[in-house]
């Protein structure tokens, strides 16, 4: 009786306790949110996006707040003024950006893989295929229309980070330069230089930056513009490439500067051993990367280079593929070891990530330059920071295996002859769309096996 009376007395004294208060960093609002909308003392409920309000440090009074200015920043970074862009000054970690982070799984690829597995009748192959949904790949922002999904991905990564306590890293590919894919046809993009493409590209970058800025506590790693600068090293004899030279350089410089302002760790694409790894190309490549880096003001979040993106080379081949004859840099490790000292002396940070997503099987190409849906390929080494080289931050899967490299339909506008060669699997759909037969082959040929 006495206990009951005292509890009643206590409850009448502290009515605020009737409504729960959310702890620091918990959700406190957003579309369909039905939980508490107030935060513990010292924290304020702030709108991160329309779906997610969060208790962030601070004592502003309105609940929920409507500001979209984040109150926290990337580890090692601080947000400064609130006007214009960029507004964030940042200090990157000097360590491998992958260390200590869980690489977030993109639902885009997981959905593709699960749908594909659903079409496989062989139970053993199907079980193997399903495992691919748990292997992290990069998400390609190959058209500006996809950029809004980046916000939903970052929100998901942020909420996983908060619920698990495990820091999350989201991997993206920035891939929308005007006059894209200048030496090939299969991946011609949506912007053309003649039609104000450089400004449209800058807007695309701005949209990415705006998304990233809203999730300052989620780490983002980006591969910058596959093939673009490599084409400027070796393919200026192709008129589309020489015509694109200025726009590619300005576009990449702009991307580096703007993404740097919101703390995105960047690896610029550097082709592969069979492209820039030839001795005549190494030094011009190092010079170009260093020049672009310097033109951008040496952005501190540029971590290094990405190699072998969407290609098939081994990191470390047990023996040289005969097609590599004449190039002592017959695999990615040899290429990286040869390029790194040149980069360092040119003042460019010599760190690397290497795509091994489709490198499981070697010696499958007729020529080293063959890049389109090469027959016999298998999924390769799983993503890891255990790379065996202090120059290599991580083995990654950049190309989402199963997405096509280019159509084999010779009457299509984006038909490239590489996709019609005898070592290319056919019939193949348009670049970037799902290629079921290719995916199934990657699964069954995977090495290590799935």
* Binding site listing: 140, 142, 272, 275, 311, 371, 399, 403
Catalytic residue among 176, 179, 227, 370: 227
Enumerate residues 179-198 that contact ligand BGC by CB under 6 A. 187
- What is the Cα gyration radius of the chain? 24
Q: Minimum distance from CB of 404 to ligand BGC (Å)? A: 7
| Residue pointed to by tokens 């460019």 | 348
The Cα 286–Cα 271 span in angstroms is: 12
Does 181 qualify as catalytic in the annotation? yes
Of 284 and 432, CB closest to ligand BGC:
432
For residue 373, state whether it binds ligand BGC (rule: CB under 6 A): no
Q: Which of 303, 351, 399, 418 binds ligand BGC (CB under 6 A)?
A: 399
Annotated binding site for substrate: 140, 142, 272, 275, 311, 371, 399, 403
The tokens describing 162, both together, are: 């908060």
CA–CA distance from 311 to each of 99, 350, 377, 398 (Å)?
A: 25, 21, 10, 10
Enumerate residues 99-138 that contact ligand BGC by CB under 6 A. none
Q: Which of 142, 331, 393, 416 binds ligand BGC (CB under 6 A)?
A: 142
Q: Which of 343, 431, 442, 443 binds ligand BGC (CB under 6 A)?
A: 431
Q: Which of 225, 405, 416, 440 binds ligand BGC (CB under 6 A)?
A: 405
Q: Minimum distance from CB of 146 to ligand BGC (Å)? A: 9
DSSP string covering 53-121:
EEEEES----SS------SS-STTEEE--SSSS--EEE---SS-TTTT-EEPPPHHHHHHHHHHHHT--
For residue 424, state whether it binds ligand BGC (rule: CB under 6 A): no
User: Could you tell me if 288 and 268 are in contact, meaning their C-beta atoms sit under 8 angstroms apart?
Assistant: no
User: Could you tell me if 101 and 168 are in contact, meaning their C-beta atoms sit under 8 angstroms apart?
Assistant: yes
For residue 400, state whether it binds ligand BGC (rule: CB under 6 A): yes
Q: Which residues partner with 169 through β-bridges? A: 103, 219
The Cα 309–Cα 328 span in angstroms is: 20
Q: Which stretch binds ligand BGC (CB under 6 A): 7-15, 271-279, 398-406, 417-425?
A: 398-406
User: Could you tell me if 235 and 183 are in contact, meaning their C-beta atoms sit under 8 angstroms apart?
Assistant: yes
Q: Which stretch binds ligand BGC (CB under 6 A): 19-27, 287-295, 321-329, 397-405?
A: 397-405
Torsion, Cα of 290, 295, 301, 304 (10° steps): -20
For residue 176, state whether it binds ligand BGC (rule: CB under 6 A): no
Q: Minimum distance from CB of 431 to ligand BGC (Å)? A: 4
Handedness of CA 169, 248, 204, 412 (dihedral sign): negative
Q: Minimum distance from CB of 109 to ligand BGC (Å)? A: 9
Of 141 and 368, CB closest to ligand BGC:
141
User: Could you tell me if 201 and 256 are in contact, meaning their C-beta atoms sit under 8 angstroms apart?
Assistant: no
Q: Minimum distance from CB of 152 to ligand BGC (Å)? A: 18
The tokens describing 168, both together, are: 């999350």
For residue 432, state whether it binds ligand BGC (rule: CB under 6 A): yes
The Cα 133–Cα 347 span in angstroms is: 39
Q: Which stretch binds ligand BGC (CB under 6 A): 16-24, 103-111, 284-292, 399-407?
A: 399-407
Q: Which of 140, 191, 335, 435 binds ligand BGC (CB under 6 A)?
A: 140
How far does CA 190 lie from the centroid of its chain? 20
User: Could you tell me if 371 and 310 are in contact, meaning their C-beta atoms sit under 8 angstroms apart?
Assistant: yes
Catalytic residue among 156, 179, 181, 331: 181
The Cα 322–Cα 329 span in angstroms is: 13
Does 227 qualify as catalytic in the annotation? yes
Catalytic residue among 321, 393, 405, 416: 405
Does 156 qualify as catalytic in the annotation? no
Cis peptide before 427 (omega within 30 of 0): yes
β-pair type (102-103, 139-141): unpaired
Q: Minimum distance from CB of 210 to ligand BGC (Å)? A: 21
Q: Minimum distance from CB of 359 to ligand BGC (Å)? A: 16
β-pair type (139-141, 219-224): unpaired
Q: Tell me how many residues contact ligand BGC (CB under 6 A).
A: 9
Q: Minimum distance from CB of 405 to ligand BGC (Å)? A: 5
252-281: burial string, b at 16+ Cβ within 10 Å, e else: bbbbbbbbbbbbbbbbbbbbbbbbbbbeeb
* Closest residue to ligand BGC using C-beta atoms: 432
Enumerate residues 256-315 that contact ligand BGC by CB under 6 A. none
Q: Which of 403, 418, 419, 435 binds ligand BGC (CB under 6 A)?
A: 403
The tokens describing 197, both together, are: 């493409």
How far does CA 382 lie from the centroid of its chain? 16
Q: State the residues that interact with ligand BGC by CB under 6 A.
A: 140, 142, 187, 399-400, 403, 405, 431-432
Give the active site residues.
181, 227, 405
């Amino acid at each position: 009786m006495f206990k009951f009376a005292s509890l009643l007395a206590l409850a009448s004294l502290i009515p605020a306790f009737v409504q729960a208060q959310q702890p620091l960093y918990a959700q406190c609002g957003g579309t369909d949110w039905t939980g508490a909308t107030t935060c513990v003392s010292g924290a304020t409920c702030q709108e991160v996006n329309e779906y997610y309000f969060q208790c962030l440090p601070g004592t502003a009074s309105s609940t929920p707040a409507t500001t979209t200015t984040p109150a926290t920043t990337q580890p090692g970074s601080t947000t400064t003024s609130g006007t214009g862009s960029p507004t964030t000054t940042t200090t990157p970690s000097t360590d491998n950006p992958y260390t200590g982070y869980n690489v977030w799984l993109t639902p885009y690829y997981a959905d593709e893989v699960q749908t594909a597995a659903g079409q496989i009748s062989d139970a053993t192959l199907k079980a193997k295929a399903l495992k691919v949904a748990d292997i992290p790949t990069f998400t390609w922002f190959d058209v500006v229309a996809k950029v809004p999904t980046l916000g939903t991905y970052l929100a998901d990564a942020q909420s996983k980070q908060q619920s698990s306590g495990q820091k999350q890293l989201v991997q993206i590919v920035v891939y929308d330069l005007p006059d894209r894919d200048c030496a090939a046809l299969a991946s011609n993009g949506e912007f053309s230089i003649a039609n104000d493409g450089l400004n449209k590209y800058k807007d695309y970058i701005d949209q990415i930056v705006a998304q990233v800025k809203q999730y300052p506590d989620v780490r983002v790693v980006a591969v910058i513009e596959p093939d673009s600068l490599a084409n400027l090293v070796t393919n200026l004899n192709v008129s589309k490439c020489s015509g694109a030279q200025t726009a590619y350089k300005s576009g990449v410089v702009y991307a580096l500067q703007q993404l740097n302002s919101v703390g995105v760790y960047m690896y610029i694409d550097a082709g592969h051993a069979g492209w820039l790894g030839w001795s005549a190309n190494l030094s011009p490549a190092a010079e170009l990367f260093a020049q672009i880096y310097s033109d951008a003001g040496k952005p501190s979040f540029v971590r290094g280079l990405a190699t072998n993106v969407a290609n098939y080379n081994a990191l470390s081949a047990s023996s040289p593929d005969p097609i590599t004859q004449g190039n002592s840099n017959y695999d990615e490790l040899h290429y990286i070891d040869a390029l790194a000292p040149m980069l360092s002396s040119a003042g460019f940070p010599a760190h690397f990530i290497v795509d091994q997503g489709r490198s499981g099987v070697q010696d499958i190409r007729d020529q080293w330059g063959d890049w389109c849906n090469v027959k016999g390929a298998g999924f390769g080494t799983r993503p890891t920071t255990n790379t065996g080289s202090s120059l290599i931050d991580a083995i990654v899967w950049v190309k989402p295996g199963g997405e096509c490299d280019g159509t084999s339909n010779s009457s299509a506008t984006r038909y490239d002859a590489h996709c019609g060669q005898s070592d290319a699997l056919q019939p193949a759909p348009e670049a970037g769309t799902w290629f079921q037969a290719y995916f199934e082959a990657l699964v069954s040929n995977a090495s290590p096996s799935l």
